C-alpha cells in the first residue's frame, strides 16, 4: 500500500476527540498516542520479534494522522542508509522515542503558547524523519513499509467491520 493512500484512508478509522480538525486537542491526542506506540515498539527488543510489523503499523497510523492534522501529505520515504546511522535495533528505537518526544514537546508549546504557523512548521520535518525511520526499521526487518501499512490497514478494516475500532487492546 502506498503511503499517500494509507494516509488518506486513516481518516476512516479516526475515532477520537476533534478528529480531522487539526486543532490542538487533536494534536495532543495524536502526539500522546504516538509516544505510547513508540514505547510499545521499544519493548520488543529485537527486529525478529513477531509483533514488530504490527507495532510499526500502529506507529505509522499515528504519524499519518498527525501529518494530516498538519496538512502535510506524506510521500514514500527512503530507508536511511548511512555509515553514520546506527543500525542497532535499540538505537533505532531510541531515536524514534527521541523524535516522538520532540513531537510531544512541540505540541505542548502549541498548547501553551497558542497555535501558530511557525510552531506547526517546525513539526513537519520531524514527522518526515519518523516516516523514514519506520521505512528503515521495516527494511532492516526484511520487510518494506508498504507491507507494514497494508497489514495495519487490514487489521483496522477488520475491526471497523466488526464495530471494534473504539476501546483498547490488541484482541478486539
Is pLDDT at 65 greater than 50 in this prediction? yes
Q: What are the domain boundaries of the chain? A: 3-75+86-161
Residues 132, 81, 142, 136: what is their CA dihedral angle, to the nearest 10 degrees? -20
Q: Check if the beta carbon of residue 152 is closer than 8 Å to that of residue 54.
A: yes
Upper half-sphere CA count for residue 101 (Cβ side, 13 Å): 7
Is pLDDT at 80 greater than 90 in this prediction? no
Give the integer Cα–Cα distance in Å for 101 and 33. 11
Average pLDDT over residues 126-143: 90
- pLDDT for the residue 85: 47
Average pLDDT over residues 63-78: 92
- pLDDT for the residue 172: 43
Average pLDDT over residues 33-47: 90
Q: What is the pTM of this model?
A: 0.90
Give the integer Cα–Cα distance in Å for 104 and 106. 5
Q: Check if the beta carbon of residue 38 is closer than 8 Å to that of residue 59.
A: yes
Residue tagged 530507508 (cell numbers): 79
- From 31-40, 60-69, 70-79, 159-168, the region with the lowest mean pLDDT: 159-168
Model confidence at 13, pLDDT cuts 50, 70, 90, reads very high
| DSSP assignment of 33-67 | HHHHHHHHHHTS-STT-TTHHHHHHHHHHHHHHHH
Model confidence at 82, pLDDT cuts 50, 70, 90, reads low
- pLDDT for the residue 77: 82
Q: Which residue has the higher pLDDT, 46 or 114?
A: 114
What does each C-alpha distance from 152 to 32, 59, 105, 155 come to in angstroms?
A: 19, 10, 27, 5
Cα R_g (the chain), whole angstroms: 15
Residue 152 is given by DSSP the state: H
pLDDT tens-digit series, residues 95-126? 999 999 999 999 999 999 999 899 899 899 99
Model confidence at 166, pLDDT cuts 50, 70, 90, reads confident
Decide: helix, strand or coil at residue 5: helix
Q: Check if the beta carbon of residue 131 is closer than 8 Å to that of residue 139.
A: no
Q: Percent of the chain at pLDDT above 90?
A: 63
Give the integer Cα–Cα distance in Å for 60 and 156. 13
Amino acid at each position: 500500500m502506498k503511503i499517500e493512500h494509507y494516509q488518506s484512508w486513516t481518516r476512516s478509522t479516526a475515532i477520537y476527540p476533534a478528529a480531522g480538525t487539526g486543532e490542538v486537542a487533536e494534536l495532543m491526542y495524536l502526539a500522546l498516542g504516538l509516544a505510547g506506540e513508540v514505547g510499545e515498539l521499544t519493548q520488543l527488543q529485537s527486529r525478529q520479534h513477531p509483533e514488530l510489523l504490527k507495532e510499526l503499523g500502529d506507529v505509522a497510523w499515528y504519524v499519518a494522522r498527525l501529518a494530516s492534522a498538519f496538512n502535510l501529505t506524506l510521500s514514500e520515504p527512503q530507508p536511511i542508509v548511512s555509515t553514520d546511522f546506527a543500525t542497532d535495533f535499540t538505537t533505532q528505537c531510541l531515536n524514534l522515542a527521541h523524535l516522538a518526544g520532540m513531537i510531544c514537546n512541540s505540541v505542548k508549546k502549541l498548547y501553551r503558547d497558542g497555535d501558530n504557523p511557525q510552531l506547526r512548521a517546525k513539526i513537519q520535518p520531524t514527522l518526515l524523519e519518523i516516516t523514514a525511520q519506520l521505512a528503515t526499521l521495516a527494511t532492516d526487518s526484511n520487510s518494506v513499509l508498504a507491507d507494514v501499512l497494508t497489514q495495519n490497514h487490514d487489521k483496522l478494516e477488520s475491526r471497523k467491520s466488526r464495530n471494534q475500532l473504539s476501546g483498547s487492546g490488541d484482541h478486539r
